Chain A
Amino acid sequence: MNDVIIRRITKAYGEVTALRDISLTVSPGELFGLIGPDGAGKTTLFRILTTLILPDSGQATVCGLDTATDLKQIRRRVGYMPGRFSLYQDLSVEENLRFFATVFDTTVEDNYDLIRDIYVHIEPFRHRRAGKLSGGMKQKLALCCALVHRPDVLFLDEPTTGVDPVSRIEFWEMLGRLRRQGITILVSTPYMDEAARCDRIALMYAGQCLTVDTPQAICRSFGKPLYKVCSDRMYALLGDLRAYDGTLSCYAFGDSHHLTLREDRSGDTEALATYLGGKGHTGLRLTPIEAGIEDCFMAQGKEER
């Protein structure tokens, strides 16, 4: 029995196809991540699962209930946190929480054990208006409001976008604790580094699902030697690496470039070093590394393109 089943869902907005034939399943108690850049279709998928919009074709069930027909039952059993901050900015922290508790016909006290870990972070500000909270605080409050009725499935649409790095880490720790309480969580994020914290992830790109697996398996499936390359002139290095005839792919990754070589040339790093030396690069460092989610995403996205 799966908590969320998505079968061949397609959704278009006029000319733009937001979702193309997506199929996924999420098991009970799983922390499932939808990973992809803006415009990948993550929000659309969430809205279909939370009964807010209807797909053009395909079918989805949540807790065994059809999203097209059983919307009333589904709406009692899920928690939803939209991508945009969607609480009442002119109500205080406490008022927001109490309001959403009554809307779901429950009280804050009844489910306090579930939200306590999160609520303690914002409790000192409970009389402050929600609009005056910092980004991280807002997300914690929104999570509390989405949780206050003890949902079976929690949908979090980009909960860490626009949140500082420390709060992001805290937020994911909270999700981990919630998962241990048995709540199924679907979370979307454009940050690849967060993917490793999920049980399973789906890499999404342009309305399509590239891969669904555990983060570890996806990284293992990369299948090619990967090198991290640095030199004193990083910008020129990227162009030179891409111009190199043995290069399969090369992407800029923050402080280094990630490089894969063509199969017939792999392992031949000596030749590459000579080539780069000839281009006048100094301080060259070339280290083999394990592939991360982002490397996999770039490689798979390239195949799709």
Chain B
Amino acid sequence: MKQFLSFIRKEFCHIFRDVRTMAILLLMPVVLVVLFGYAISTEVRQSPVAVWDQRRDDASARMINRLAASEYFDLRRMIGSTEEADGLFRRGEIRLALIIPPAHVASGMQILSDATDPNEATLLIRYAMATLGPGEANSPAEVSLLYNPQMKGAYNFVPGVMGMILMLICAMMTSVGIVKEKEMGTMEVLLVSPLKPAYIILAKVAPYLLLSMVNIVTIVLLSRFLLDVPVRGSLFGLMALSTVYALVALCLGLLISTLVDTQQAAMLTSGVALMLPVVLLSGMMFPVENMPWPLRLLSEIVPAKWYIAGVKDIMIKGLGFGAIAREMGILALMVAGLAGISVKRFNLRLS
């Protein structure tokens, strides 16, 4: 036990004395949350619009006022013809144009959209229809957004960033930490000692687990107080799920460290083999449902997918512990499997 504690103390010394790495580790979640929260946003704000009002009565004035008051739109100018709208679109001055027909014409309103970015266009049209009111935009059905009525992007990316940070720190740092000992030659000395390999592994893993817990708390606090993303469900459930997911990542890091021999290779492998799936296949950025079946199948084994789904259930939907039992179970299975493989692969000898 004394051996183990002294080993962990040594690991903390490594982390704390490498000021640059520690700064990256602790600041990365803050930077990512702020970046995703403010800079890289899929939300639409203050999109320039033009309106051709042919009706010119109280009803149309109300509509235009509502549009101008909305934070999503910025009413640039009133126009008098479709040609004028075309010109504005071509010069890129507006993203959306609204044409209100004269009162005696039976047809409904017309919305013109730039649509060079289809996602943005869909969003804008949906916002416009919501702003103008269902009756007047002839919406066929009443839409109600249950868990995220304001359609905030933060509700989606906060769980995603958590999945990403945990994977990055636990997997990458662990694999780099172990491979560093190999590269520096200290593993050779450690192996020729009575130290149990399990101790070596556990002592490597413990500090990073703690560090990622700190990061999780940072992210949750930031998203709660900076981005107004609530934790509606059980906080304990959230922490438990995060711990299990962190363990999956740690085991992946261990596995990588048994496969490669240099720190650079470890960094690259964890970057490509772990980060890409988190970003692409977890549903964080791109909806998995629309992917071809091989990718959908692949996404099933991406731990982040299950973690992010579980976090959303707890944070956004406000569900309790029971709702995430499936995600917990799957992640726990992954831990068992990966830990088994990497401990078996961990070499008692060199090479």
Interface set of A (CB-CB < 8 Å, partner B): 47, 50-54, 71-72, 75-76, 78, 80, 82, 84-91, 95, 98-100, 102-105, 145-146
Contact = CB atoms under 8 A, between A and B. Distances in A.
Nearest to B190: A103
Contact of B184 (A54, A89, A98, A100): A89
Contact of A91 (B13, B189, B192): B13
Contact of A75 (B3, B6, B10, B193): B193
A103 B186 contact: no
A103 B348 contact: no
22 contacts: A47-B350, A51-B192, A52-B188, A52-B349, A52-B350, A53-B350, A84-B185, A86-B188, A87-B186, A88-B184, A90-B18, A91-B14, A95-B10, A95-B13, A99-B10, A100-B193, A103-B3, A103-B193, A103-B194, A104-B193, A104-B194, A146-B189
Contacts of B184: 86, 88-89
Interface of B: 2-3, 6-7, 10, 13-14, 17-18, 184-186, 188-195, 348-351
Nearest to B200: A103
A112 B48 CA distance: 78
A86 B6 contact: no
A87 B189 CA distance: 8
A163 B14 CA distance: 27
Nearest to B195: A103
A90 B18 CA distance: 8
Interface of B is mostly: helix
A88 B188 contact: no
Contact of A86 (B3, B14, B186): B186
A45 B196 CA distance: 24
A75 B348 CA distance: 11
Contact of A82 (B6, B10, B189): B189
Q: List the 10 closest pairs (A to B, CB-CB), nearest first.
A: A86-B185, A102-B6, A80-B192, A52-B350, A84-B185, A76-B194, A50-B192, A90-B17, A86-B189, A103-B193
Interface centre among A52, A88, A103, by most chain B C-beta atoms within 10 angstroms, is: A103
B2 A102 contact: yes
A32 B102 CA distance: 106
Interface centre among A90, A145, A146, by most chain B C-beta atoms within 10 angstroms, is: A90
Given A71-B348, A90-B14, A103 B7 contact: yes
A99 to B, nearest CB: 5
Given A53-B349, A76-B194, A90 B188 contact: no
Contact of B3 (A54, A95, A105): A105
Nearest to A86: B185
Nearest to A74: B192
Given A47-B350, A51-B192, A105-B194, A91 B10 contact: yes
B350 A99 contact: no
A75 B190 CA distance: 10
Contacts of B192: 50-52, 75, 78, 80
Contacts of B3: 102-103, 105
Nearest to A80: B192
A283 B13 CA distance: 63
A287 B349 CA distance: 52
A267 to B, nearest CB: 52
A76 B193 CA distance: 6
Contacts of B194: 72, 75-76, 103-105
Contacts of A51: 191-192, 349
B188 A103 contact: no
Contacts of B191: 51-52, 75
Contacts of A95: 10, 13
Contacts of B13: 88, 90-91, 95
Nearest to A78: B192
A6 B285 CA distance: 61
B193 A82 contact: no
Contacts of A105: 2-3, 194
Contacts of A52: 188, 191-192, 349-350
A103 B6 contact: yes
Contacts of A146: 189
A100 B349 CA distance: 19
Contacts of A47: 350
Contacts of A102: 2-3, 6
Contacts of A75: 191-194
Given A90-B14, A103-B6, A104-B194, A82 B188 contact: yes
Contacts of B351: 53
Nearest to B16: A90
